[in-house]
Amino acid sequence: MRSSRAANFAVTASVVFAAVMMILPNAVIIPASFNGENYITFPPRSLSTRWYATFLTDPVWRSATWNSFVVAFFTALAATVLGTLAALGLIRFPPRTRSLMVSMFLLPVIVPTIISAVALYGLLAQFGGRGGLLGVIIGHTIITLPFVVVNVIAALQQMDMRLEHAARSLGASPLRSFIHVTLPMIWPGIAAGAVFAFLVSFSEIVMSLFLTGSGSVTLPVQMWSGIRFEINPTVAAASSVFVVLSCAVVMLMGLLRRKQGKAVKP
Amino acid sequence: MTSGFLRRYSAWLMMAPAVLLLAAFFIWPVLDLVRISFEHRDGAFGHYQRVFERPAYVLVLERTFLVSALTVVICAVIAWPVAWRLATASKTGKLVILAVILIPFWTNLLVLCYGWLIILSPTGTLNAALTGIGLIDGPLPLSGNMAGVLIGMVQTMLPYMVLPIAANMARIDPRIPQAARSLGAPPLQVFLRTWLPLTMSGVIAGSLLVFIMCIGFFIIPAILGGTRDIFIAQLIEMNINKVLNWGFAAALSTVVLVTTLVLYVVGVRWFGVDALWGRQ
Amino acid sequence: MNAPLPAYPRADTAAPPVFHEKEACMSGPDNIAKPKMGAAITVRNLSRFYGGTRAVDGVSFAVEAGEFLTLLGASGSGKSTTLMMIAGFVEPTAGQILIGGRDVSQLVPEKRNLGVVFQSYALFPHMNVFDNVAFPLKMRGIATDEIERRVQRTLTMVELESRRSYRVGQLSGGQQQRVALARALVFEPPVLLMDEPMGALDRRLREQLQRQVKEIQQDLGITVIYVTHDQEEAMLMSDRVGIMAEGKLCQIGAPREIYEAPRTPFVAAFLGESNFLRVRRTVVGWEICQENGTEAMVRPEDLRLLAKGESAPLRLEGRVRQIEFPGGAMRLVAETAAGLFEMRLHRHEATGLRLGQQVVLGWSDRDMVLFSDRPEGNA
């Protein structure tokens, strides 16, 4: 009896340890960002919003934030369209072939980003395409595509694919059967993929480090130089933007998951 | 006839745009990188000789693999009880644990590193607290070295270890350990003879996944690590941006790539590593 | 329910009433006087291979306009694949499908104009009953008031007009089945394909729906191809039944014809209970033998117990192994020289029979089916 209580205690202790470890770095960021000093500390010595003011007014930070939004928007768009199409194709293969193909589509998340970034950097440098936003968007689309594919496939797997057959037998063309039957049932999955692609692209750093030029610095790249080359507490203000964004995305994803569950249920 | 063609190959046609994008901007450049790695004036393996013969580079390889392995072990030790709690918790409990465990999954890596930097730096929260209560005299070296890297890596990788183990546990019939107890096994034996072997495939899947992701890490060692004890990814970056030795960077990349792909194939083939993405 | 049977029932007199009723519609579509909207279907040499597996292997049959044909077989026999090829969802490896004389093999499903009722219905979960049924009309660009009228009419036909704004999930299994039927019929297709439509329903509901489907089919004069693994359902509903096994069509014919004259032992065993033995013709009649001789089959209900001194064209001595009462008739299993023999007895007949008791089974040569002198293989 005593040993099982000790085991139980050990389990609880490691869960608490893990939880503290998970929460800690996030928890210090927002209070630290309201620090009034010239260097960052937690707990903050004095309170001020000066770093937010810098973040919101400094043209460097502003343009980086704008670039990130532009990149993330077009990345999400491209990845969602291509990924949804790919998922609709993949679902038509028998399960064994499909799972093999899906694991191929997952390669961009498995291969370390540093490698795909260096490789794409080399390719774009050859053709003079390096440094523009388009290159970054292409790089991010590569990385985010798997997430869209996986999300849409998951939605499609919840759906009875014979519903498409039913629609066809009732006179709907493939396109109309997609619009009237498939889309209403899988849109939450597609939306979840798009939201996720947006978040991943918005936060992506390694690809961006290699592919951005002076005119196309994204927010994470700007933060990177803020952390590495100057001790700049504006990074904390920028970080809290990410914390808020992540929270919003998590809630949105939860909502979409529930919607997906409802969409396929009769 | 055209419509017959469209019909027969519709699935392939729908995949075509994505496949073409990946082929042109991912597979082709990566293969090209592999090709460059064999271009050296001293023969095809010139770069590889440097990688595996210069002690400084061997040290980087060793460090990367060792720290990655250590991360795997620490993650597994923490993740197993967490997964157990996750599997046995009530519905709300599950949700709470899952939400907390998935934090690093949703958070920007830079933000996490920056947070750790605030906590771990010599003037950071932890050192200030410890000196404050008189436990230590001078600040502990917790960042700018392997300790910092390890803390950061364990945190970010923990979800990738917990999820496969928890998925594996969820599939275990709870009557099996019960049966073991009814047959007279004491709790420790029940654990050693049912739970542990039954969850092994989840642990291995998680370990493969974590190891694969660790050996390519760039951001965490760059921010939380020291300037001298660098990882392979940093060596690659240096050779691209500072030394401008593409061939050598390509050779290093190929080493990481081959290791990654071999482990991934093993993971997919025998441990369902790719199922993780389908399930989350 | 049943009238008391004579003490020694013979096959022709013991048939349940429903069996006689079936004869009216069994004799084929040519005596159906009703105006028909059905179309004839011809399937020629239809095959579908998946790698080395032959899911459907050279199936040919013709269905006349207004006929009800059932493809009966175990799972994996190729019956559903055949149906899905006719519907256009599975591309044939070889062969031809003609509907109303037109080759549709190259046509996409939506151009074939067939009503399909899917296994577990495939109703659109995000639409209510009305929208489900209206879907095919909307796809055909029919005006709203016309859609309203026709959906209403079809829902009335399946007795669901009161449920038109219900969500699919709010309906019972039987109601869902009827919505699926309404949806497949509302655009008045000449042919209705049904793939195990009753599979998910309980027995009582199934019988009720079988009757309803049959009535609707006869009212509309529509051609039906029905797929099921339930032999009773097949016998009850169909004008003709096609037995499928391992991708091949073994035999096709009216239910009673197949039951009374199965072409192979497989068909005999598949459709109803059967006792197999070997017989040889002698100068005076028949002789039961062990090795050579012709393979033969006799149905359990055609056997009777012979009293002492009573004679029959064929007789077999045995010992009682089992007496069971599954409801209805008693089932007696006897151990004989030709193996285990099963027969039916009326309850009163079985009183006094004990396990191990010696009995003599007798039957008429008219009720016996001989196999080996017929060519085996496809219909």
- Chain C positions touching B8 (Cβ under 8 A) are 91
Is domain C12-268 classified as CATH 3.40.50.300? yes
- In the sheet that holds C314-324, the strands lie side by side as C304-305, C358-363, C314-324, C330-336, C339-345
- Nearest chain B alpha carbon to C105: B4
- Of C2-16, C56-70, C197-211, give the lowest mean pLDDT range: C2-16
| Minimal C-alpha gap between C139 and chain A (Å) | 6
Residue A37: inside a domain: no
Q: Which two tokens stand for residue C255?
A: 């239910």
- Chain C positions touching A172 (Cβ under 8 A) are 110, 135, 139
Residue B3: its pLDDT value, please? 59
Going from the first residue of chain B to its last (280 residues), give the mean pLDDT of each consecutive group of 10, the final group possibly shorter.
68 94 96 92 85 91 95 95 88 89 88 90 84 83 88 94 89 82 80 85 92 93 88 93 90 95 89 61
B278 touches chain A (CB under 8 A): yes
- In the sheet that holds C294-298, the strands lie side by side as C286-289, C275-281, C294-298, C368-370
- Please check the confidence at residue C11 and state whether its pLDDT lies above 70: no
Residue A109: inside a domain: yes
Would the pTM of this model clear 0.95, i.e. be above it?
no
B254, HSE (Cβ side, Cα atoms, 13 Å): 21
Instruction: Look at strands C294-298 and C275-281 and give their pairing.
Output: antiparallel
Contact at 8 Å (CB) between B96 and A23?
A: no
Contact at 8 Å (CB) between A211 and A130?
A: yes
3-state class of B26 per DSSP?
A: helix
Rounded Cα–Cα distance for residues B2 and A250 (Å): 45
Residue A228: its pLDDT value, please? 83
**What CATH fold (topology level) applies to the domain C273-370?**
OB fold (Dihydrolipoamide Acetyltransferase, E2P) (2.40.50)
Cβ-based neighbour number of residue C326 at 10 Å: 7
A205 touches chain B (CB under 8 A): yes
- Of B63-72, B196-205, C199-208, C367-376, give the lowest mean pLDDT range: C367-376
Residue A88: inside a domain: yes
A52, HSE (Cβ side, Cα atoms, 13 Å): 12
- Nearest chain C alpha carbon to A159: C125
pLDDT tens per residue across span A60-112: 999 999 999 999 999 999 999 999 999 999 998 988 888 888 888 999 999 99
Q: Which two tokens stand for residue C226?
A: 């029905």
Give the CATH number of the domain where residue A114 resides. 1.10.3720.10
- Please check the confidence at residue C33 and state whether its pLDDT lies above 70: no
Q: Which two tokens stand for residue C54?
A: 């032959």
pLDDT tens per residue across span A172-213: 998 999 999 999 999 999 999 999 999 999 999 999 999 988
Residue B12 is given by DSSP the state H
Domain boundaries, chain C: 12-268, 273-370
Rounded Cα–Cα distance for residues A233 and A41 (Å): 9
Interface test mutation site (partner A, options B37, B106, B217, B234, max chain A beta carbons within 10 A): B106
Q: Which two tokens stand for residue B78?
A: 């923490």
Residue A215: its pLDDT value, please? 82
CA dist B230 → B56, B60, B235 (Å): 10, 6, 7
Contact at 8 Å (CB) between C48 and C85?
A: yes
- Please check the confidence at residue A143 and state whether its pLDDT lies above 60: yes
Contact at 8 Å (CB) between B237 and A114?
A: yes
Residue-range domains of chain B with CATH? 39-107+158-279 (1.10.3720.10)
3-state class of C141 per DSSP?
A: coil
Of B26, B125, B222, the CB nearest to A42: B125
The 3-class SS string of C188-231 reads CCCEEEEECCCCCCCHHHHHHHHHHHHHHHHHHCCEEEEEECCH
What are the two backbone dihedrals, phi and then psi, of residue C304, each rounded to the nearest 5 degrees?
-140, 160
3-state class of C360 per DSSP?
A: strand
> Mean pLDDT, chain C, as a whole number?
85
Contact at 8 Å (CB) between C70 and C237?
A: yes
Contact at 8 Å (CB) between C379 and C327?
A: no
* Closest residue by Cα to residue C344 from C306, C304, C297: C304
C3 touches chain B (CB under 8 A): no
* Closest residue by Cα to residue C104 from C197, C217, C190: C190
The 3-class SS string of chain A reads CHHHHHHHHHHHHHHHHHHHHHHHHHHHHHHHHCECCCCCCCCCCCECCHHHHHHHHCHHHHHHHHHHHHHHHHHHHHHHHHHHHHHHHHCCCCHHHHHHHHHHHCHHHHCCHHHHHHHHHHHHHHCCCCECHHHHHHHHHHHHHHHHHHHHHHHHHHCCCHHHHHHHHCCCCHHHHHHHHHHHHHHHHHHHHHHHHHHHHHHCCHHHHHHECHHHCCHHHHHHHHHHCCCCCHHHHHHHHHHHHHHHHHHHHHHHHHHHHHHHCC
Residue C379: its pLDDT value, please? 37
Residue A201: inside a domain: yes
Residue A1: inside a domain: no
Helix A234-264 / helix A50-57 crossing angle, nearest 10 deg: 80
- Please check the confidence at residue C148 and state whether its pLDDT lies above 70: yes
Rounded Cα–Cα distance for residues B79 and B74 (Å): 8
Q: Which two tokens stand for residue B53?
A: 């013969």
